[in-house]
Amino acid sequence: MSSESDARGQEKRKAKGPSTDAVHAGEARQKLGNSITDPIFCASTYTFADTQSVIDYIEQHQQREEYGRYGNPSQRVVERKLATLEGAEQSVLFASGMSAIVGLLMAKLNAGDEVIFFDECYHRSREFCSKHLARFGVMTRQVETGNFAAMSSAINDKTRMLVSESPTNPHLSCIDLDQFVELGSQFGIETMIDATLATPYNLQPLKFGVDYVVHSATKYLGGHNDLLAGVIIAEPDKLADIQNLRGIMGAVTSPHNIYLLERGLKTFELRMQRHNANGQAVAEFLESHPRVERVYYPGLPSHRDHEIAERTMSGFGGLITFQIKDADWRATADVVDRVQLARIAPSLGGVESLIEQPLVMSYYEASPEDRAKWGIHDNMIRIACGIENTEDLIADLEQALER
């Protein structure tokens, strides 16, 4: 049995636990050079023995590489592993989370089509749709997050896709995926969920019937703040045109990043257990603190979508957003600056905790009217809990909140 067929054979066996799949899924038992780890293939092109080999590759659709823009042997391993973790058969790896979203929308939408977003979304996703897809004749409609009546009213005969995050960034709103899928099915429209904040460990949207799941693998999947990657996961027949467009766009992940992603995934479940525990404990601490006005975290009963989160998710991740009571943006910045463990930076999902003030980090150039519309408050802080000891994170936040 070849290494490729050996790896595919693994996928047909009984489903295993998340850590077992994170370590072993998608990999051949015996690898090149008898190494326990997959090698890094730093090749821009791949050779053929003779002309007939090229013809066989084309006519027989052989699973091998031709040119670096179309694939890499290690990339195929990571794609199988990510698909398995999501409970699927296939995935397509991209150079970043944003390139995955762009690739999906560009592959599925044509001039004259419309896409509907719930309005709590990553600001770059919003920008791509409203500023760039619009140039190609694709209209984006935004409706209040979780308002399915508004989404239903926005649907017309040009609507081709319904899009949401779950949980959303930075408000951590959770979507009732049963209603989301039912609405798509009712109108014959495909659905996409960006589940970066949830990860396959906490939420698997495909099991609810969602058509496409997108992750920024830069975050929890890679887990170490040292790579960029994105992935789209769906049924194989839905991914063919996406994979083809990726080859045309050249939005491929570098060989070294593929290696880092596979390496990071080995400890995926262990890291997520700590992220979930830290997130819950820190959120509970913040909610009890007299200087904190409000905490956004789906694991708290006070969160508006707590019931949905408990019903659909197995854990709630390490990202928390909170507001400082009676504070302007400068007083809020002072709290951020006093934190010692978490580093001031964008992103999330790495082993190191990160903290930021959304107003400054992501929305500084937005108008006050737009910030108000998107729910970005001057006194808002977002912390992405890493895997540090819980008591140390809480103690650090406690000292930062002291006047």
Catalytic residue among 38, 76, 108, 122: 122
In the 8-state DSSP scheme, what is residue 133? G
Per-residue tokens: 229: 């990657």
Give yes or no: 69 in active site: yes
Q: What angle do CA 211, 152, 188 make, to 5 degrees?
A: 40
- Specify the pLDDT at position 4: 52
CA 65 to chain centre: 27
pLDDT by residue for the chain (403 residues), tens only, comes to 345 545 544 445 567 999 999 999 999 999 999 999 999 999 999 999 999 999 999 999 998 999 999 999 999 999 999 999 999 999 999 999 999 999 999 999 999 999 999 999 888 998 999 999 999 999 999 999 999 999 999 999 999 999 999 999 999 999 999 999 999 999 999 999 999 999 999 999 999 999 999 999 999 999 999 999 999 999 999 999 999 999 999 999 999 999 999 999 999 999 999 999 999 999 999 999 999 999 999 999 999 999 999 999 999 999 999 999 999 999 999 999 999 999 999 999 999 999 999 999 999 989 999 999 999 999 999 999 999 999 999 999 999 999 7
**Which of 226, 217, 180 has the alpha carbon at shortest distance from 196?**
217
C-beta neighbour count of 366 within 10 angstroms:
15
- Closest by CA to 376, choosing from 126, 169, 165, is 169
Q: Is 390 exposed, middle or buried (0-12, 13-18, 19+ CB in 10 A)?
A: middle
Give the residue carrying structure tokens 């850590």: 19
State how far the Cα of 387 lies from the Cα of 238, in Å rounded to an integer: 36
Q: Which of 8, 16, 31, 69 is catalytic?
A: 69
Catalytic one among 76, 80, 81, 219? 219
Cβ contacts of residue 170 below 8 Å, gap of 6+? 296, 319, 321, 358, 376, 380, 382
Per-residue exposure over 245-271, b if at least 16 CB sit within 10 Å of its own CB, e if not = bbeebebbbbbebbbbbbbbbbbbbeb
122 is annotated as an active-site residue:
yes
Residue 119 annotated as catalytic = no
Rounded to an integer, what distance in angstroms lies between the CA atom of residue 234 and that of residue 232?
7
> Of residues 38, 119, 194, 211, which has the active-site annotation?
194
For the beta sheet containing 292-296, the strands, ordered from the edge strand earlier in sequence to the opposite edge, are 292-296, 319-324, 380-384, 354-356, 343-344
User: Quick check: 381 and 335 in contact, CB under 8 A?
Assistant: yes
Helix (H) or strand (E) holding 264: helix 255-265
Angle CA(91)–CA(95)–CA(96) in degrees, nearest 5? Answer: 90
Tell me the CATH number for domain 3-265. 3.40.640.10
Residue 123's Cα: distance from chain center in Å? Answer: 14
Could you say which DSSP state residue 67 is in? B
CATH architecture of 268-401: Alpha-Beta Complex (3.90)
* Residues 55, 137: Cα–Cα separation, whole Å: 40
Cα distance between residue 80 and residue 127, in whole Å: 31
Q: Mark whether 338 is an active-site residue.
A: no
**Domain assignments of the chain as residue spans, ordered by start:** 3-265, 268-401
Distance from C-alpha of 108 to C-alpha of 308, rounded to nearest angstrom: 29
